[in-house]
Structure 1
Amino acid sequence: MSGQESVAGSDLNEIEQMDKKHVFGTWSFQSEVSPTQVTTASGYTFSDASGNEFIDFSGQLMCSNLGHSAERIEDAVATQVKESAYVAPSYTTEARAKLGKKLAEVTPGNLSKTFFSTSGTEAVEAAIKIARFYTGKQKIISRYRSYHGATYGSISVTGDPRRLASEPGIPGTIKAPDPYAYGSSLDPMQSLDYIEEMLELEGGTVAAILVEPIVGSNGILVPPDEYLPRLKRIAHEHGALLICDEVMSGFGRTGNWFGCDVFDVEPDIMTMAKGLTGAYQPLGATIVNETIADHFEDNMLCHGHTYSGHPVAVAAGLAAIETYQQEDLINRAKERGEYLETQLADLAADHPSVGDTRGVGLFHGIELTRSSEERVPFGTREDKISKGGTIVDDVAKEAYENGVYVANMINTLIIAPPLTITEREIDAAIAALDTALETSDAAMDGVSETTEE
């Protein structure tokens, strides 16, 4: 669950009732789904059918990087719909060609050629297939605290417990530990040693290592500076590619164009979506380096989609990148991120239930704990696939009731506002969280109503 959901069975308006009856809620027991109708959205806020306005402190599903009033994208979409709403992938449009060139310019190193799809999960599917086609190997190493998508290939390389219902999944997927200093038995660099040993024991049969440079929905995990460079090095030493999943960490979220830029690493393959259009259109992309691109000149790329390079979606993507550039939003995210980090540190100091805060730019997580000494989580991985709510859900709900939407995953509140957010709105959101965290403070081990008084 996340903070925007009300209790199932509470009063729903006509549209909400219709939706609940006829539309599946995602990742949910349907009896617990209680949709809220959003009627308007502008800037960094959105409003429900009752007229309540909320600061969007998580950018919806960490995807509304440009907020809800990106006029350049709105105009580009409207123009493209009138010019040509759809053409088959064997044709092209000016927007598709220009977006491919733009992506080659803003991505690191010699990443140069892109396959367009309609979502992050499809971008990962393409990356898996390209890595296997190119290397002639089948195995993909990914990590336990990861999310890469919902289709069968991408859910198979996902470590998140939502994968369990879909197993056994596709063959050849192997999980590794994460650089998780707060909650793992391994130190972050020890987890990298573990991956190196896995590569040795797999005997040169691994096609690629797939990672989120900064883990998103599984906790906003930021590795040590030397982690990603060394990961790429050991992957190449064993004949494997490095795939960076930038679906959530891309397009200014970290105060850099991409998460891998934080560590000055150029992956062999990169996946992206979400911020690629700022969520104005569904668009995913998989970009590869020149060597891999050259391979497919005389080897078939046996992959495709009806909507690959959809004219309206790529027009939105091109306009989004122009917006990032012309409004200097990458640098703005870095500056606002420094301010956010300071505010979160102050917030953590006032609440014993905040076990850890971590992140980069406008991409931060607040991890909660029942016991600051033992760091016992309120929410567990099992909760992700179980009925009922957690204290973390309650904290998010309290923030929502005070006008701030913040997503939560397992045991972490995810802070990922639009890059356009101001310090004033950050302050207002932090104030709401300050009140909401009293809920988790009161629920800590050893705290009773008597001691609270």
Structure 2
Amino acid sequence: MSHERTLNDVERLDKEHVFGTWSYQSTVRPRQITDSDGVRFTDAAGNEFIDFSGQLMCSNLGHSADGVADAIAEQATEGAYFAPGFTTEARAKLGAKLADVTPGDLSKTFFSTSGTEAVEAAIKIAKFYTGKDKVVSRYRSYHGATYGSISVTGDPRRLAAEPGIPGAIKAPDPYAYGSTLDPMQSLDYIEEMLMLEGDTVAAVLVEPIVGSNGILVPPAEYLPRLKDIAHEHGALLICDEVMSGFGRTGEWFGCDVFDVTPDIMTMAKGLTGAYQPLGATIVTDEIADYFEDNMLTHGHTYAGHPVACAAGLAAVETYEQEGLVKNASEMGDYLGERIDDLAAAHPSVGDTRGVGLFRGIELTRDADERVPFGEREDKLSKGSNVVDEVADAAFAEGTYVANMINTLIVAPPLTITEAEIDEATDALDSALDVSDAAMD
């Protein structure tokens, strides 16, 4: 957050020697966190905050998942690292568990260390399997920061890395608020793209529910039809579930909301509840069979890292044992009601979207015209806009909420209670006075 304050010794040391991400370094002001518990965390000055965005939409288990922490310690003692040619009980069982909780015939996983690496693996697997070179993705998307994944990202932060990898093609999004196309018309556009590209597209890559570019929920028929369109043109469907996976939507995965099984799925974030860096790329039986006699020319030193896999297995078991996917659905309904209350009370709330505990509050400076406070280019500029100021005001009230471009992103841990939702939305209620006052 951007509050003016004096940095302590740790914060000054960090600012001097550690790069801040996606930032002009002159503007970076790190805040030292010293403790956390449940859905709350505490800074070095003793200020406590409700984590209403799960940090970067990844702390699905909150900050007290003792079973995961114990599994990490146990595996680190048994053996912190072995080369990928060896296995451990945790890695084998996690692979089997993912085959169980993912939809359809998704069955075999490549483990990496992050969401961006999971997407890199998905791109390469799709190209190897189809023998084609192009990937169609969408403009309002984020798939990671490494060269392949930033190339298929539509988010304007990709621009500094361009031209990127060959064959990355962008399509419009199902976004009624900010597009000239009706959400379903954007499918017609993608279908025409695939026709005009000929038989050269390996895959269509989408977030089932767009995350950091606005929590964009497509119509119910969108994803099933997109899969049909891709297959009709000889392309695979890749679903990026890095943010929407592991109960976030009130279902195990975002694609479950639409009853769709992709050909390839990527995961990270909630896979370990952010207790360890772990990414995963899971494929269908048919794609897995292809690599029995065709080399998978891909790998990492830390592929299937034992400690990370132990965290992943313990995390998935925690989701199951504590009924957290069901709780996300139930608390998600309550959260949706409270956000509706905010929209009714504040004219600067132009749109609300989301499912489960994955919600977006989009702001407007003009209730009639829905003119945004924040623009895409703000991701590349110095300074702050009104949406940043709203997030800062909520932070001052003890609630951390992430914001991207023009949208507040509400994605708390799946363990959250109604009382904690009330406390955090009350802080947002106060903070939204800032954007109400800034309207035209």
TM-score range, shorter chain: over 0.9
Whether 1:130 and 2:95 are equivalent positions in the alignment is no
For residues 3 and 207 of structure 2, the distance between their equivalents in structure 1, rounded to whole angstroms, comes to 31
Report the identity percentage: 78
Report the 3-state secondary structure (helix = DSSP H, G, I; strand = E; otherwise coil) of the residue aligned with 2:189: helix
1:151 to 146, 171, 189: 146
Residue 111 of structure 1 is aligned with which of 103, 106, 111?
106
1:267 matched to 2:262: yes
Residues 178 and 188, structure 1, Cα contact 8 Å, conserved in 2: yes
Alpha-carbon distance in 1 for matches of 2:105, 2:382: 46
1:76 is matched with 71
* Partner deviation per Cα, 1:280-299 (whole Å, 9 max, x = no partner): 00000000000000000000
The within-5 A match list for 1:245-264 is 245-264=240-259
CA distance in 1, matches of 2:66, 2:382: 41
Query: Offset of 1:5 from its aligned partner?
Result: 3.2
Question: Which of 419, 435, 443 in structure 1 is aligned with 2:414?
Answer: 419
Residue number among 14, 19, 39 corresponding to 1:19 in the alignment: 14
Cα deviation digits, residues 17-44 of structure 1 (max 9, x gap): 0000000000000000000000001100
- Which residue matches 1:323? 318
Distance 2:80 2:139 in 1: 40
Gaps of 5+ in 2: none
**In structure 2, what is the Cα distance between the partners aligned to 1:409 and 1:120?**
18
Residue 158 of structure 1 aligns with an amino acid whose one-letter code is T
Residue type matched to 2:216 in 1?
L
**In structure 1, C-alpha distance between the alignment counterparts of 2:119 and 2:367, rounded to whole Å:** 37
TM-score of the superposed pair, with normalisation by structure 2? 1.00
Q: Contact 1:137–1:207 at 8 Å: present in 2 too?
A: yes
Look up the equivalent residue of 2:47 and give its one-letter code: N
Q: CA deviation digits over 1:226-250, x for unaligned, max 9? A: 0000000010000000000000000
Question: Offset at 1:383?
Answer: 0.5
Deviations 1:78-110 (A, max 9, x none): 100000000000000000000000000000000
The Cα shift of 1:149 comes to 0.1
Following superposition, the deviation at residue 64 of structure 1 comes to: 0.1
Give the aligned residue type for 2:117: E
State the distance in 2 between where 1:369 and 1:185 align.
18
Q: Residue 355 of structure 1 corresponds to which residue in structure 2?
A: 350
- Secondary structure of the corresponding residue to residue 316 of structure 1: helix
Equivalent of 1:187 in 178, 182, 186: 182
Residue 101 (1) aligns with residue 91 (2) = no
Q: How far off is 1:209 after superposition?
A: 0.2
Corresponding position: 1:58 with 2:29? no
How much has 1:161 moved relative to structure 2?
Answer: 0.4
| Offset at residue 6 of structure 1 (A) | 2.5
- Give the counterpart letter for 2:194 in structure 1: L
CA distance in 2, matches of 1:91, 1:372: 59
Alpha-carbon separation, structure 1, partners of 2:128 and 2:380 = 34
Which residue of the partner structure matches residue 448 of structure 1?
none
Letter in 2 for 1:62: M
Q: Distance in 2 between matches of 1:5 and 1:253?
A: 27
Q: Distance in 2 between matches of 1:39 and 1:164?
A: 36
Report the Cα distance in structure 2 between the residues aligned to 1:75 and 1:116, rounded to whole angstroms. Answer: 21
Structure 1 position 403 matched with structure 2 position 398: yes
2:37 matches 1:42: yes
Distance 1:352 1:33 in 2: 32
* 1:181 CA displacement: 1.1
Give, in whole Å, the separation in 2 of the partners of 1:336 and 1:314: 28
Which residue in 2 is equivalent to 1:223? 218
The letter of the residue matching 1:294 is D
Q: Distance in 2 between matches of 1:171 and 1:38?
A: 41
Matched, 1:286 2:276: no
Paired AA for residue 139 in structure 2: Y
Cα contact 1:248–1:273 (8 A) shared by 2: yes
TM alignment of 1:225-240, pairs within 5 A: 225-240=220-235
Check if 1:432 corresponds to 2:427: yes
Distance in 2 (CA, whole Å) between partners of 1:77 and 1:382 is: 41
**Which secondary structure state, in structure 1, belongs to the residue aligned with residue 119 of structure 2?**
helix
CA deviations 1:295-333 (Å, max 9, x no partner) are: 000000000000000000000000000000000110110
Confirm or deny: 8 A CA contact 1:5 1:35 kept in the other structure: no
What is the CA deviation profile of residues 339-390 of structure 1, one whole-angstrom value per residue up to 9, with x for unaligned ones? 0000000110000000000000000000000001111100000011001100
Deviations 1:213-269 (A, max 9, x none): 000000000000000000000100000000000000000000000000000000000
- Equivalent-residue separation in structure 2 for 1:300 and 1:248 (angstroms): 30
1:451 maps to none
Compute the TM-score of the two structures, normalised by the length of structure 1. Answer: 0.97
Aligned to 1:169: 164
Amino acid at match of 2:190: I
Say whether residues 1:202 and 2:197 are aligned partners. yes
What SS does structure 1 have at the residue aligned with 2:184?
helix
Q: Which residue in 2 is equivalent to 1:388? A: 383
| Matching residue within 2, 5, 15 for 1:5 | 2
CA distance in 2, matches of 1:5, 1:406: 13
Amino acid in structure 2 at the alignment position of 1:176:
A
Partner of 1:449: none
Contact 1:5 1:36 in 2 (8 A): no
Q: In structure 1, which of residues 291, 298, 302 is the aligned counterpart of residue 297 of structure 2?
A: 302
Letter in 1 for 2:3: S
The whole-number CA distance in structure 2 between the counterparts of 1:157 and 1:372 is: 33
Contact 1:254 1:360 in 2 (8 A): yes
